[in-house]
A and B are shown apart, each in its own frame.
Chain A
Amino acid sequence: MDIKTDVCNGCGQCVIVCPVQAIRMVDNKAVIDEELCVECSVCYRDANCPVNAIRMKRLKWPRVIRVPFSNVIATHKVTGVPGRGTEEMKTNDVTNRFNIGEIGVSIELGRPGIGTHLENIELFTTRLSKIGVTYEEKSPVTALMVDDKGHINEEIKEQRVLSAIIEFKIPDKKLPQILEVIRKVDKEIDTVFSVGIVSRIKDNNTKEIMNRVSQLGFQVRPNAKINIGLGRP
């Protein structure tokens, strides 16, 4: 993103809307911190800049990788879904992506609202790959991986994005190992992350998986996403 400082009148609207506080006022002009800016386009869309000083820049590789992980309007080529995730459990009644006996996990780095460098992905993926997980093929994060050890493309590691979601599934019995990885990274990472657990439900018994997660020492929120099984191929 670019702000034409010669045009800017210093109204401050863009400073207010930037979700990662990447815009500051310097001598009454708005200035973007290039390192902090995740290229989400919120300032361009929602600041209502009175003098049209905010412009989209043509971004080069590797900076351009920030866009699909930050701009809600951008659709990932690999997923076809606008935003940063995949269909995951939302269409599970049609796709059977997650079966009985399997657990899906979504780890969203940078969420809520802090952002992350892409290199943080490896804090998880190098450990997860050792345990043996099945990464979601259509996930944009999976597309960044260059080997089966969980390493990602060197060229993009320093890029900062609004959030990146690691999506994978495991056989039910590996859940404690995965939660152990979460515990470890919790202490090491320089940003925040949020974790979601997906489970196919048998006999309407949602308690079973939630109790299991609680017994392993993790809190569970009272709200969730529930697929009610109306879909068919």
Chain B
Amino acid sequence: MTHSLHRKGIEKDLKKDYVVLAMLAAGFNDKYDDSRQKLIKIGEILKNHNPVNIMPEIGWRTSPTVTATFNNIKTVKKIIRILKKEDLGLSIVISGLISEIEKVVKEVDLGVHTIHFSLGNTFGRRELLPQEKILEITTMCGHHTVSSQSITHYLELIKQGKLTVEKAAKKLTKPCVCGIFNTSRAIQILNTLVKD
């Protein structure tokens, strides 16, 4: 799962979109009696910091990862500080604007261990893709479970006054089981699209 890697959007919007992931490494730190407890503890820490979305708790107990989404870097910094202090030994990956993450990581006396970045363009038959703003929403689910026609359908309903932007964003969030779909960013993009 390249989960949050290919999220689209301009820097200004990405400033409100960070995903924090914790992961057990198979055959390494997943084998101890307290490995699962540590992952669950991280889930609790993330939950206590007002995420805009978070993996359902059943996932913390069954999957090798815990993920949550935040709409500001300040909170992410606080979380990194706590995780550093707790020293649980699980891998932590932050997705979002490189410049911002680098800055806060440095401020808490940590460093960048490994980076995974996306080449700017989608390749191949780009003409098959929906418009960029729609892609900004669909790519917030790394498994692409959010369909582009659900967005256009909900936009129509919003324009007709049959659905609120908030409810539409909530509906769009539902298929994403990892908790990395940024509901508040979706509201912002839907608002822009409604005005267009």
Residues 200-218 of chain A, each 1 if its beta carbon lies under 8 Å from chain B, else 0: 1100101001100100001
Whether the Cβ atoms of B93 and A221 lie closer than 8 Å is: no
CB-based contact B112/A226 at 8 Å? yes
Q: Mark B1-41, 1 if CB is under 8 A from A, else 0.
A: 11111110101001001000101111011000000000000
Task: State how many angstroms separate the Cβ of A209 from the closest Cβ of chain B.
Answer: 7
Contact indicator B150/A189 (Cβ below 8 Å): no
Residues of A near any B CB (own CB < 8 A): 15-21, 40, 42, 45-46, 72-73, 80-85, 87-95, 98, 104, 106, 108, 111-114, 162-163, 165, 182, 185-186, 189-201, 204, 206, 209-210, 213, 218-233
A224 touches B144 (CB 8 A): no
- Docked complex Cα distance between A206 and B120 (Å): 16
B119 contacts A94, C-beta separation under 8 Å: no
The 8 closest A-B pairs by CB, nearest first: A219-B120, A229-B113, A231-B91, A83-B1, A91-B25, A224-B117, A94-B25, A72-B143
| Closest Cβ–Cβ distance, residue B128 to chain A (whole Å) | 5
Query: Does B178 lie at the interface of the complex (its beta carbon under 8 Å from any beta carbon of A)?
Result: yes
Task: Check B192 for interface membership: any CB of A closer than 8 A.
Answer: no
**What is the size category of the interface that chain B forms with chain A?**
35 or more
Jot down 6 A-B pairs with beta carbons below 8 A, ordered by A.
A42-B145, A89-B115, A200-B114, A222-B97, A223-B96, A229-B113
Q: Does B75 reach chain A (CB closer than 8 Å)? A: no
Inter-subunit contact B149/A204 (CB<8 Å): no
